[in-house]
């Protein structure tokens, strides 16, 4: 989230036409990359990037001691940001086997891209917000990941979040976002994973007469294991989408499904939480869960800054809080949507 604000804070305003603004979503990689370098610093790691020592101590988040705690950082992300010849900030890597990995480390951080577009362009038509969110989400992931099955799910998540905030139902948000995915090349894995998720979620709902909650939970776990374990981007998004669609709009049920499987459950739980939070709001989160969240005041402040990014009253001392990135690093994520697979996504009937 910090990186998005750093780059966009001086460029977004309340307007109906994004083309009149001095914004190039491909340049967002600059703010994101330098923010990620600060994150690397909090994990006790150093980067060989020439800007690391210039940017690592900037901003307000780096001053919070509790954030300087190693929290099982993603291997692909850390290698891309620390290794000589690794990521320069734009998804282009010289590390064989790392830049083309499919890991879910990109999609888990893409939800704010959907939120910031919705916040910054309140008068933009919903489909244009979602398209911009999709592109921005792809760039978010491409800073550390290069495989389409890692990058495209991030774009899909951002677009889904954008459509939900535009008052779409969950099924409608998926349906209205998948058009952007279909235009991309190498989209088959992500499309097919989402297709399977929607089919299986409908199957669980059709079995609503199962005698006990335990039976439903057992069937849900069987379904999720058919999708995968969530270690790769397309699987992680699909498991989260399944969990949300199968939950009948209940936050607790969605999170239960998303975190109870044997795979990368913290990532799939985070993505499901993004979707359900946008759909149902904070009031849907059980109080016993909220009371155990770390650094609540930090999360609230950054989220509010992201939500109110276009409000001038919010921008006092922002340069010190969210430093403008040094230089420009271009993302190598696809600059334009283009024809891709003809695979059609099955949409849930609920």
Q: Which residues are annotated as a binding site for Mg(2+)?
A: 264, 266-267
Asked if residues 176 and 131 have their Cβ atoms less than 8 Å apart, the reply is: no
Is 182 exposed, middle or buried, given 0-12, 13-18 or 19+ CB atoms closer than 10 A?
Answer: middle
CB atoms within 10 A of CB 294: 9
Distance CA 222, CA 262 (A): 11
SS3 319: helix
Distance CA 348, CA 350 (A): 6
Asked if residues 53 and 28 have their Cβ atoms less than 8 Å apart, the reply is: no
Supply φ then ψ for residue 99, to 5 degrees: -65, -25
Q: Which residue's entry shows tokens 């592109």?
A: 135
Is 13 exposed, middle or buried, given 0-12, 13-18 or 19+ CB atoms closer than 10 A?
Answer: middle
- Residue ranges for the known binding site are 264, 266-267
Distance CA 119, CA 304 (A): 10
DSSP characters over 118-139: HHH-TTS-HHHHHHHHHHHHHH
Q: Which residue's entry shows tokens 């949507």?
A: 337
- How far does Cα 240 stand from its chain's mean position? 12
Asked if residues 131 and 337 have their Cβ atoms less than 8 Å apart, the reply is: yes
Buried b (16+ CB within 10 A) or exposed e, 20-56: eeebebbbbbbbbbbbbbbbbbbbeeebebebbeebb
Half-sphere exposure of 237 (CA within 13 A, CB side): 34
């Amino acid at each position: 989230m910090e990186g998005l604000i750093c780059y966009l804070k001086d460029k977004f305003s309340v307007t109906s036409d994004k083309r009149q603004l001095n914004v190039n979503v491909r340049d967002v990689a600059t703010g994101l990359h330098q923010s990620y370098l600060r994150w690397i610093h909090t994990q006790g790691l150093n980067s060989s990037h020439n800007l690391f020592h210039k940017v690592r101590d900037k901003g307000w988040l780096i001053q919070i001691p509790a954030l300087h705690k190693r929290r099982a950082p993603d291997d692909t992300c850390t290698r891309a940001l620390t290794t000589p010849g690794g990521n320069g900030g734009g998804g282009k890597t010289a590390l064989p086997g790392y830049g083309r990995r499919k890991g879910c480390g990109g999609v888990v951080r893409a939800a704010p891209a959907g939120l910031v577009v919705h916040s910054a362009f309140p008068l933009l038509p919903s489909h244009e917000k979602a398209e911009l969110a999709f592109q921005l989400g792809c760039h978010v992931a491409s800073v550390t990941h290069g495989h389409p099955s890692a990058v495209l799910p991030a774009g899909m998540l951002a677009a889904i979040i954008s459509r939900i905030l535009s008052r779409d139902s969950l099924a409608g948000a998926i349906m209205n976002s998948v058009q952007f995915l279909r235009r991309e090349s190498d989209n088959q894995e992500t499309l097919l994973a989402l297709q399977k998720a929607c089919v299986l979620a409908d199957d669980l709902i059709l079995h609503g007469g199962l005698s006990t909650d335990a039976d439903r939970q057992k069937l849900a776990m069987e379904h999720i294991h058919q999708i995968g374990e969530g270690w790769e981007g397309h699987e992680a998004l699909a498991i989260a989408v399944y969990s949300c669609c199968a939950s009948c709009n209940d936050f607790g049920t969605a999170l239960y499904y998303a975190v109870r499987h044997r795979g990368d459950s913290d990532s799939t739980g985070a993505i499901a939480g993004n979707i359900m939070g946008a759909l149902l709001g904070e009031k849907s989160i059980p109080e016993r869960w909220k009371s155990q969240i770390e650094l609540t005041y930090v999360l609230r402040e950054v989220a509010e800054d992201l939500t109110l990014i276009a409000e001038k009253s919010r921008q006092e001392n922002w340069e010190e809080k969210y430093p403008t990135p040094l230089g420009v690093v271009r993302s190598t994520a696809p600059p334009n949507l283009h024809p891709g697979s003809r695979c059609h996504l099955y949409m849930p009937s609920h």
